Amino acid sequence: MTYSGKMLAVLAATTCLAGPAIAQDDETLKIGLIFTLSGPAAVLGEMGRDGFQLAAEQIGEIGGMPTEIIVVDDEQKPDIAANKARELVERDQVDIVVGPIFSNILGAIMKPVTDSGAILISPNAGTSNFAGAECNRNFFVTSYQNDQMHEVMGAYAQEQGYSNVFLLAPNYQAGKDSLAGFKNSYKGGVAGEIFTQLGQLDYSAELAQIAAMQPDAVFAFMPGGMGVNLVKQYRQAGLETIPFLSAFTVDESTLPAQQDAAVGFFAGSNWAPDLDTPENKAFVDAYEAKYGKVPATYAMQAYDAAHLIDAAIREAGGTGDKDALIAAMEGAPFTSVRGDFSFGPNHYPVQDFYLTEVVQREDGKFATSIVKKIFDDYADNYVGACEMN
C-alpha cells in the first residue's frame, strides 16, 4: 500500500467508534497526531496536521522505517484529549505523539503520554511550567515557549516609546503566558488588562473601553475565530488609528477571513512565509500547491517536527534505544525552515524572532511579512529552572 493509502486506512480506523486496534509491528514506526480538528479552532489543528503530513509524504518512510500515522481530534476538550492520548500510547502503542495546538490540552496529555515511555513533541503549545520546573526528557517543543512571541511585541512597544498599552487575552494558560511575556519586555504603563472567556466572539464591551481610554496601542492574543472577530470589530469600531499589536491574532490561519481588516497590523513571530531560506521557500511553495492556502506557523512547526523525527531516528539507528533517540533529538539534527534552530537544555527551541506586518501579496492573498528581526538566537526565560531527569 502506498504511504497515502496506508495513512488513509489508519485514519479511517481511528474515526470508527468501535474500530479495531491496529496490529503492532516492531519494525513499523507509529506516530500519533493529536490536534483540534473540530469547532471554531479547527483551522489551527488542520494546519498542524497538514504541515506534518506534507513533510511525511515528502520523506516517505520516516527515519527509514515503514510508517503509520494515526490522526485524532482532541475536540479542544482536555478530558477527551487525555483519553485519546491514552488510547494512542496504550492501545495503538505509538512511539511518538505529535501535538497539540492548545496549552490546556498539552497539560492534559503530558502525563499519559510521557509516563508510557512515548516521546511527545509539541508543534505549538509551549507552556512555561514544562519549560521550567516540570520539564521532561521525553518532551520536545518545535515551536517556542508561549511567552516569547509576546515578548517580541513587548520589546517593539518599548522601542516605540509607548507608555500606555491596553492588554487583551483569553482566560487560560496561554493567555496568561501571553500577557506575562509582553510585560517581560515592556516596562511602560498598562491602560487596561482584560482576560476574556475562551472562545468569546463579541468584543463590543472591550472595544468600548479601548475607545474611551484611547491608549497608545493595543496588544492582543486572540487565536483562531476569536482573532477573526476581534480584528473585524476593531476596524468596524473605527479604532485603527490606535496601533494594533498582537501574536497569533493576525496570521495565515485568520487572514483569509480578516482580509483587508488586518492589513497593516503587526505581530510577533518566529517565522513568516517570506523568510528567506531555501528550505522555507520549498516548504511554502509545496504547501500552497497542495492545500491552496498560505501556511501559518502551525503548519511550519509541525513540518519541522516531522523532519526532526526523521533525522533523529536515522541518527539513532531506529526507535529501539529510547535514550539514543532522545539524545539524537537533543542535537536537532535537521535543517529547520527557520534557518538557525537548536534545543536548549529544557528541549525548547533557541531561535530568532521577528516583527511581522500583514500585507496583501501580488497574487491577492493575505500574509504576514517580516519587517525586522527583534531577537537573535533567543532562549526562553524558564530554562534555568529545568532540571532534566
Digit-coded pLDDT (tens) for 162-191: 999 999 999 988 899 899 999 999 999 999
**Model pTM greater than 0.85?**
yes
Q: Coil, strand or helix: which one is 66?
A: coil
Mean pLDDT to the nearest integer, 154-168: 97
**Interior angle at CA 122, CA 119 and CA 127, nearest 5:** 115
Number of H helices, E strands in the chain: 13, 13
What tens digit of pLDDT does each residue of 286-340 get?
999 999 999 999 999 999 999 999 999 999 999 999 999 999 999 999 999 999 9
**What are the cell numbers at 307?**
523532519
| pLDDT confidence band for 41 (50 / 70 / 90) | confident
> Is pLDDT above 80 for 389?
no
> Which three cell numbers mark 63?
527515519
Mean of the per-residue pLDDT values of the chain: 92
Mean pLDDT of 62-83: 97
Report the b/e string of 126-145 with b at 16+ CB within 10 A: bbbbbbbebbbbbbbbbbbb
Q: 137-141 — which CB contacts under 8 Å span 24+ positions?
A: 137/326, 137/347, 137/388, 137/389, 138/113, 138/114, 138/326, 139/110, 139/114, 139/347, 140/308, 140/329, 140/343, 140/347, 141/347, 141/348, 141/349
User: What's the CA gap between 55 and 88, in Å, rounded?
Assistant: 21
Domains, the chain, ranges and CATH? 3-144+276-347 (3.40.50.2300), 147-269+353-384 (3.40.50.2300)
Category of 252 on φ-ψ map: left (φ > 0), alpha (ψ -120 to 50) or beta: alpha
| Interior/surface letters 65-98, b for 16+ CB within 10 angstroms, e for the rest | bebbbbbbbbbbbbeebbbbbbbbbeebbbbbbb
Could you read off the pLDDT of 223-254 as tens digits, one per residue?
888 999 999 999 999 999 999 999 999 999 99
Rounded to whole angstroms, how far apart are CA atoms 104 and 76?
8
